[in-house]
Amino acid sequence: MGSFFSTMFTPPPADDPNSAVVAAHSKAAYDQHWEAAKSSGKLMVIDFSASWCGPCRFIEPAFKEMASRYTDVVFVKIDVDELADVARTWKVEAMPTFVLAKGGKEEHVACAVYHPLPEKTCDFSLPEKRLCNPTYRPPL
């Protein structure tokens, strides 16, 4: 029902060919990116959003900028109306929700909040975390 209304009133945005963010429009495409990131050991940042979601549209430019900055990380965008089954798998209840996963395991979830995302992306993607956060102190 949500996908009906979201496409009826707000056409889905076109994919940006210049962006490092991969938009998965099918379960098969998502599964392919998930398996590739899982087998490579790369961090995958999944942006669960919707075309009708104002905060999702507000955060999108920053998400794209992060994708161009962290080239060793896989950034995937999922429209919850298109891929509701994937959103249910990750127990997404609010948008935007960002899931950081590495090696097939969830590392961090940021629900409807952007501010910790760049720091968490850096923390989980780089072996030397203090490169991104000069105040970082490893846990004892």
CATH of the domain at 122: 3.40.30.10
DSSP 93: -
Annotated catalytic, 53?
Answer: yes
Largest CA distance in the chain: 53
Three-class SS of residue 123? helix
Tell me the residue range of the domain where 68 lies: 2-7+21-131
- The CA-based angle 52-13-94, given to 5 degrees, is 35
Residue 108 lies inside a defined structural domain of this protein: yes
In a domain, residue 138? The reply is no
Query: Is position 15 within any domain?
Result: no
89 in a structural domain? yes
Closest C-alpha to 48, from 7, 89, 76: 76
**CA atoms of 3 and 113, how far apart (whole Å):** 23
Residue 12 in domain? no
Query: Is residue 57, in this structure, part of any structural domain at all?
Result: yes
Provide the residue-wise pLDDT of the chain in tens; the chain has 140 residues.
454 444 444 444 455 556 789 999 999 999 999 999 899 988 999 999 999 999 899 889 989 998 998 888 999 999 999 999 999 999 888 889 888 898 888 877 776 554 556 666 666 555 444 334 444 444 43
Residues pairing with 46 in the sheet: 76, 99
In a domain, 137, yes or no: no
The number of domains in the chain is 1
Flag whether 111 is in a domain.
Answer: yes
Reply yes or no on whether 132 is catalytic: no
